[in-house]
Amino acid sequence: MLTKTMPYAITPPAQASLPIADSDLLFPLNRVFCIGRNYAAHAVEMGHDPDKEPPFFFLKSPSNLTTDGAFPYPSRSSDVHHELEMVVALSKGGTDIAVEDALDCVFGYGVGLDMTRRDLQGEAKKMGRPWEVGKAFEKSGPCGPLVPVEASGHPTDGEIWLDVNGERRQTGDLNQMIWKVPEMIAILSQYFELQPGDVIMTGTPSGVGPVKRGDVMHAMITGVGELTVAVT
């Protein structure tokens, strides 16, 4: 079938992407799903019950993810928090994916930050409003390169920590995730048709806190890598 390709009225935005460790190829980003309160100790520090209640998700925009090592302090907030998270990148998707099949969809893993305007997120929570102004702002997702599964395996335990200016702020273990990676993929696929290029930010361990201009964040996830980001 012949399809007439029509020109765009404006220059299309660049395809958002993440680098891949030890590769000249890029991983093209589709959607960025984020899970809330996925480590019990973080749920408690945010004033919630750590019991295994059904997971909930929100989204960032693909173009929010950056890899230039800089986080520009955003406008309209005076309480911006770091949330260190393991990133899961999907090379396959589908609907109603079984938990047993879910890991077949994973391309690789990365270190990411779900930077959050906590004051605006708090107001939104109080008023029952959506979270985008607190979560999905420009450059709110600094990330490291993705490590393909062939190199990382599927990390299920090991330290996850974040320092600010050399002081330990967040500590946890990947085995403390309330909802595990295969479960997150399976549940998301009941609500969305997952697609190659989708990524999942898998929640943050306890110790979230504010940053200020001039701070340097340094994060590590066992088996996945390290990430250094300066607040500018």
Q: Which residues bind Mn ion (CB under 5 A)?
A: 83, 114, 204
Question: Closer to Mn ion at the Cβ: 114 or 198?
Answer: 114
Are the CB atoms for 162 and 169 separated by under 8 Å? yes
Q: How far is the CB of 205 from Mn ion (least distance, A)?
A: 10
Q: Taking the complex as a whole, how short is the minimal distance between the CB of residue 34 and Mn ion, in angstroms? A: 5
Token couple for 47: 């004033």
Q: What is the β-pairing status of strands 70-71 and 225-231? A: parallel
* 34, β-bridge pairs: 58, 201
Nearest distance in Å: CB 58, Mn ion: 8
- Nearest-CB residue to Mn ion? 114
Q: Which is nearer to Mn ion, 27 or 42 (CB)?
A: 42
User: How far is residue 105's CA from residue 92's CA, in Å, rounded to a whole number?
Assistant: 5
Least separation, in Å, of the C-beta of 36 and Mn ion? 7
Nearer to Mn ion, 152 or 204 (CB): 204
Nearer to Mn ion, 83 or 198 (CB): 83
List helix spans (H) across the chain.
40-45, 99-102, 118-127, 132-135, 149-152, 181-191
